[in-house]
């Protein structure tokens, strides 16, 4: 009898253990939009669901099963043609946090205990018209360190796009705040005013620093935003969002390093098994994949990522972090395994140069970045599996794509080493940038990697002022990767002359900018 009781008890224990080590549920069409699976609502087949590493597809009834431990976020990978519910702050609700005991003791709290796993973890989908031609709004580094900077973000950027139409969703590329994680909540409320579904990813200033393992550095982030690694589909594009900060740095236990854990890349591999090869794969992470030295990013992780993408001919990476703007291209020498280089758009930031610089009429810092790129945001415009990117300078017209610097007045007939500089914000070496004076002949400008002289001029205003200026001095200038120079003619008649610059971007589109300078008779030597 005792033996029988023992066997029954062990069976019951084994069943309980199985119930706690497997999550199951349905992905269903929420026809009435009430957020719960009603009896007549149909499951959706072939939808990917993940526990953060493994990825499975739902069966014909919309059912799935996945293994779980004591620290998992289960999430649905939104299929094209469907939306997921959004909360009052326009955050997509596509995940379930399973942390029965909650996060370890942390300064900012992390996730509260979630208790036992529900019998069924179900995910609602809502059918929606989803064209293959669409736009997404991209924010780099809002990175507010206090409530005042949240206000700068709201007034300087969010107010400009609040209520925007014909944009499918938004995505912030990390550093949502600046280390003080209680600001995640006001950040969420601020960006909710845009009025569209908004996705986020984790930056190195969104982490829990009081942890000993990288897998725990996102605990407080998860409490507000859900998984730090996830994916979703829209139209013919497949988005993969990743945390690419290793903290603590595995080399010395101090600071952070760009890279991925094995489980994150396992997720990418398992996820791509369910993605058609002709889709546009858009990867989004915070730290760029720069390869110039291994001090910035772990080479082996970038290589495995590139290996996983070798059969996908349409790809794009989005990153931020640098508070600059540049186009990075990765070819065979960098481990990219296709003939066409991989493009990474390292986006300019909504905080610009960390909310520095002179204040505008609204009391918001101008915050031009160190490479001369004005603060702003981007539109990712996708058509099928192709894309273009537009950069929008905050507070300026859409056609503001080039900033010119040149003398205002110069002596007629005298040779001068002064030049005409064109900062083409979305440009890169190899673009065609030309200029002409008046209706004269178009001449090529010379690509040059140097500090933007217009930014240097703004910087020196701070260093030569007789009184303290409102705001905060900008960072020192760095070489711009999108700067061109042309000689300034002095052999024209005295008077005002029009400068016109035209630049063609990597997508074949041409932009122009005009200015004027004046030739005057030289002042006689005294």
Write the DSSP string, 182-219: GGHHHHHHHHHTT-S-EEE---TTSS-SS-SSGGGTTH
Q: How confident is the model at residue 482 (pLDDT cuts 50, 70, 90)?
A: very high
pLDDT tens figures, 98-128: 999 999 999 999 999 999 999 999 999 999 9
Classify domain 2-124 at the CATH topology level: Immunoglobulin-like (2.60.40)
Whole-number pLDDT of residue 295:
79
Cis peptide bond upstream of 248, omega within 30? yes
- Which residue in this structure is represented by tokens 């597809």? 57
CB 159 within 8 A of CB 377: no
Question: What is the Cα–Cα distance from 210 to 406, expressed in whole angstroms?
Answer: 50
Whole-number pLDDT of residue 2:
41
Percent of the chain with pLDDT over 70: 95
Q: Which of 368, 365, 323 is nearest to 459 (CA)?
A: 368
pLDDT tens figures, 245-265: 999 999 999 999 999 999 999
Residues 6+ apart with CB under 8 A from 348: 140, 324, 325, 369, 373, 374, 375, 376, 377, 378, 391, 425
Task: Decide: helix, strand or coil at residue 118.
Answer: coil
Residues 6+ apart with CB under 8 A from 424: 401, 402, 431, 433, 482, 483, 484, 503, 505, 511
pLDDT at 292 over 70: no
Would you kindly state where each structural domain of the chain is located, as residue ranges?
2-124, 402-520
pLDDT tens figures, 345-388: 999 999 999 999 999 999 999 999 999 999 999 999 999 999 99
What value does the mean pLDDT take over residues 49-59?
98
Whole-number pLDDT of residue 9:
39
Structure tokens given for 492? 């024209």
Q: Across-strand partners of 199?
A: 171
Q: How confident is the model at residue 452 (pLDDT cuts 50, 70, 90)?
A: very high
What value does the mean pLDDT take over residues 136-143?
98
pLDDT at 13 over 50: no
Whole-number pLDDT of residue 480:
98
pLDDT tens figures, 333-344: 999 999 999 999
| Same topology between domain 2-124 and domain 402-520 | yes
Please tell me the CATH superfamily of domain 402-520, with its number: Immunoglobulins (2.60.40.10)
| Element holding 282 (H helix, E strand) | strand 280-284
Phi, psi of 517 (to 5 degrees): -135, 165
Whole-number pLDDT of residue 523:
85
**pTM for this model (two decimals):** 0.94
Whole-number pLDDT of residue 526:
43
Buried-exposed string 77-104: b where 16+ CB fall within 10 A, e elsewhere: bbbeebbbbbeeebbbbbbbbbbeebbe
Question: What is the Cα–Cα distance from 296 to 505, expressed in whole angstroms?
Answer: 28
Q: How confident is the model at residue 294 (pLDDT cuts 50, 70, 90)?
A: low
What value does the mean pLDDT take over residues 180-187?
98
Q: How confident is the model at residue 3 (pLDDT cuts 50, 70, 90)?
A: very low
């Amino acid at each position: 009898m005792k033996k029988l009781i023992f066997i029954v008890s062990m069976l019951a224990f084994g069943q309980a253990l199985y119930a706690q080590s497997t999550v199951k549920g349905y992905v269903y069409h929420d026809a009435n939009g009430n957020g719960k699976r009603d009896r007549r609502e149909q499951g959706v087949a072939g939808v990917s669901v993940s526990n953060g590493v493994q990825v499975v597809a739902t069966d014909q009834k919309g059912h799935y099963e996945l293994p779980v431990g004591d620290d998992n976020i289960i999430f649905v990978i939104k299929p094209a043609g469907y939306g997921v519910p959004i909360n009052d702050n326009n955050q997509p609700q596509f995940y379930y946090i399973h942390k029965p005991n909650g996060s370890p003791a942390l300064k900012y709290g992390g996730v509260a205990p979630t208790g036992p796993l529900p019998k069924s973890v179900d995910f609602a989908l809502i059918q929606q018209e989803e064209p293959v031609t669409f736009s997404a709004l991209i924010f780099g580094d809002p990175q507010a360190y206090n409530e005042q900077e949240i206000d700068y973000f709201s007034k300087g950027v969010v107010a400009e796009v609040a209520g925007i139409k014909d944009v499918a969703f938004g995505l912030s590329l990390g550093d949502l705040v600046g280390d003080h994680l209680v600001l995640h909540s006001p950040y969420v409320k601020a960006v909710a005013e845009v009025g569209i579904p908004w996705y986020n990813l984790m930056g190195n200033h969104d982490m829990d620093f009081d942890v000993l393992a990288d897998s725990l550095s996102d605990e407080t982030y998860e409490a507000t935003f859900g998984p730090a690694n996830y994916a979703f589909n829209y139209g013919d594009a497949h988005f993969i969002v990743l945390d690419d900060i290793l903290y603590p740095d595995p080399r010395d236990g101090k600071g952070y390093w760009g890279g991925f854990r094995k489980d994150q890349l396992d997720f990418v591999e398992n996820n791509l098994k369910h993605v058609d090869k002709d889709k546009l794969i858009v990867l989004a992470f915070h730290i760029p994949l720069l390869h110039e030295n291994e001090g910035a990013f772990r080479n082996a992780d970038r290589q495995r990522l590139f290996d996983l993408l070798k059969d996908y001919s349409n790809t794009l990476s989005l990153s931020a972090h640098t508070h600059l703007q540049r186009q990075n291209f990765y070819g065979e020498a960098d481990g990219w395994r296709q003939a066409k280089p991989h493009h990474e758009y390292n986006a300019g930031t909504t905080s610009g140069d960390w909310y520095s610089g002179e204040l505008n009429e609204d009391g918001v810092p101008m915050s031009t970045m160190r490479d001369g790129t004005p603060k702003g945001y981007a539109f990712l415009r996708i058509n099928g599996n192709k894309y273009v990117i537009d950069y929008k300078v905050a507070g300026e017209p859409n056609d503001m794509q080039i900033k010119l610097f040149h003398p205002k007045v110069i002596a007629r007939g005298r040779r001068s080493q002064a030049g005409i500089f064109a900062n083409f914000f979305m440009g890169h070496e190899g673009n065609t940038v030309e200029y002409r004076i008046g209706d004269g002949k178009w001449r090529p400008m010379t690509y040059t990697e140097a500090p933007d002289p217009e930014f240097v001029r703004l910087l020196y205003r701070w260093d030569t002022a007789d009184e303290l200026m409102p705001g905060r001095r900008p960072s020192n200038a760095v070489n711009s990767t999108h700067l061109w120079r042309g000689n300034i003619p002095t052999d024209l008649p005295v008077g005002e002359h029009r400068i016109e610059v035209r630049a063609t971007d990597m997508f074949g589109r041409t932009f122009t900018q005009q200015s004027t300078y004046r030739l005057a008779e030289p002042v006689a030597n005294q």
